[in-house]
């Protein structure tokens, strides 16, 4: 009787372990989303000739599993928290793993500058394919981009990406720019690798910390060149972000960034 009970107990334990393994495999298989935000940011521009009007909009990149050639990628967004609108995204390129990069920009929202500014964009991503609809809504919270002179500031959001180029500019022999990174640890290193001879040789410069935003992203800045620097050729560059022993890159989805002389 004792042996039979023992065999039953062993059988139960083995079945339980197998159930855990199967469940674990099932959960693991579901963790790869069909659509996921890479990164997004708010952009502000001047509309009026005298700066009497400004506008802002959201722009970003999306990673999509290529489940069919016939698909719709939509950004479901709101500027006021009440009225939700849809903006179609645009195909950008196919990556080596077969997934696709799509880009989006929401319509411009015009506003008059005031002493206190407050503008934001909430959004989620919708993927319609093969009769199914998939969402990336930031685990039910939706994504939020916000700039204000008073409270919570989050001009960018990083999801699948841990680092993204914000902007860059060339002026008086200087190439300068700014970078957004996820604040994954206090100790981190952000570099810009660049070449003036199409990667026959290259150099690196360290970016420097600028500030932390309320959604735990950071802004870093970089400068390349100088008054005596000779920009005789086109410049190509990419960004690396090393933290916790892992290096993340932003190389413009394999195309690198370029400055044409």
Q: DSSP for 52-89? A: --EEEEEEEEEEE----SSEEEEEEEESSSS--EEEE-
| pLDDT at site 71 | 98
pLDDT band at residue 133, thresholds of 50, 70 and 90? very high
Q: What is the pTM (predicted TM-score) of this model?
A: 0.83
In whole angstroms, give the CA distance from residue 92 to residue 105: 13
Q: Going by DSSP bridges, is the β-strand pair 217-225/90-94 parallel, antiparallel, or unpaired?
A: unpaired
Q: Is the pLDDT of residue 52 over 80?
A: no
pLDDT at 54: 79
Query: Cα(107)–Cα(56) distance, rounded to whole angstroms?
Result: 8
Q: How confident is the model at residue 19 (pLDDT cuts 50, 70, 90)?
A: very low
What's phi and psi for 48, nearest 5 deg? -75, 155
Mean pLDDT computed over every residue of the chain: 85
Residue of 151, 40, 33, 156 whose CA lies nearest to 104: 40
Q: What is the mean pLDDT of residues 107-136?
A: 88
Element (H, E) at 22: helix 2-30
Whether residue 164 contacts residue 103, with contact meaning beta carbons closer than 8 Å, is answered with no
Q: Compute the distance between CA of residue 157 and CA of residue 213 in angstroms, rounded to an integer.
A: 10
The residue among 100, 240, 235, 88 whose CA lies nearest residue 168 is 235
Minimum mean pLDDT range among 5-14, 51-60, 179-188? 5-14
């Amino acid at each position: 009787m004792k042996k039979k009970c023992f065999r039953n107990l062993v059988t139960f334990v083995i079945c339980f372990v197998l159930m855990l393994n199967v469940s674990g495999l099932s959960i693991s298989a579901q963790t790869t989303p069909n659509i996921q935000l890479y990164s997004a940011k708010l952009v502000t521009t001047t509309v009026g000739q005298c700066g009497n009007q400004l506008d802002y909009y959201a722009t970003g990149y999306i990673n999509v599993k290529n489940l069919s050639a016939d698909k719709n990628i939509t950004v479901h967004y709101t500027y006021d928290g009440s009225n939700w609108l849809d903006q179609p995204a645009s195909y950008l390129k196919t990556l080596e793993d077969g997934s696709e990069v799509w880009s989006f920009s929401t319509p411009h929202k015009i506003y008059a500058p005031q002493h206190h500014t407050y503008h934001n964009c909430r959004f989620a991503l919708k993927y319609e394919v093969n009769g199914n609809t998939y969402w990336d809504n930031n685990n039910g919270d939706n994504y939020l981009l916000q700039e204000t002179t008073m409270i919570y500031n989050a001009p960018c959001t990083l999801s699948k990406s841990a680092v993204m180029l914000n902007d860059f500019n060339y002026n008086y022999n200087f190439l300068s720019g700014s970078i957004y990174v996820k604040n994954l640890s206090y100790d981190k290193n952000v570099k810009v690798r660049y070449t003036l001879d199409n990667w026959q040789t290259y150099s690196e410069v360290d970016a420097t910390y600028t500030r932390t935003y309320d959604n735990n992203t950071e802004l870093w800045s970089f400068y390349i060149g100088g008054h005596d620097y000779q920009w005789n050729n086109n410049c190509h560059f990419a960004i690396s972000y090393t933290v916790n022993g892992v290096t993340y890159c932003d190389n413009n989805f394999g195309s690198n960034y370029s400055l044409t002389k």
